[in-house]
Amino acid sequence: MRKTYLFILITISITLTNCKKADTKLENKSIQKEIAQSNSLSIDHQNDIPKLHETKVFLLEKGAYFINTKVESITTGENIHLKFNFFVENNKKMNLRISTNNSDDAYCEGNYKLIALENIIKAEYDDEGICTDEKEESNFYFKNNDGKYYIKSKRFINQDWQELKKENRK
């Protein structure tokens, strides 16, 4: 009789454990489905800079790109011209070098990770140390329109999309 009760208790215990595992699997599938649905949603815009909803729409081609644009000098507060040189290594990372006479204005140089958003590539600082107090200021956004690349950043004085030039290296 004791063996029968023991057998029944073990059977019930195993059944409950399997039910919990099945519930967990269903819950995980449900969460994965929600993530997949949210990833395909349109991006939210704040001053035309997207919020993260990762999707893969276009890739920034490997190569060297640059833009000459005005920024606010970190030392003087005046508007100055800087040349931003972007070296895209692959669809996940790039490197930024800034041409300037004042090394203080070349902050946030280094490696960036590339994140594919809906119709836009976001470049986030991904190097040693802290780039800037305002993380969004260190980000760059790229888009492709009719075969031309455009760039936008809160760091730039001109907050419109500006054409990004590709260097022809031989």
The rounded average pLDDT for each run of 10 residues, N- to C-terminus, in the chain (170 residues) is 59 56 47 41 46 54 94 91 94 92 84 91 88 86 92 95 86
Phi, psi for 27 (deg, rounded to 5): -65, -45
d(Cα 64, Cα 88) in Å, to the nearest integer?
Answer: 6
Does the domain at 63-166 match CATH 2.40.160? Answer given as: yes
State whether residue 40 is helix, strand or coil: coil
pTM of the model: 0.65
SS3 (DSSP) at 22: helix
pLDDT at 86: 96
Question: 3-class DSSP state for residue 48?
Answer: coil
**Domain boundary assignment for the chain:** 1-39, 63-166
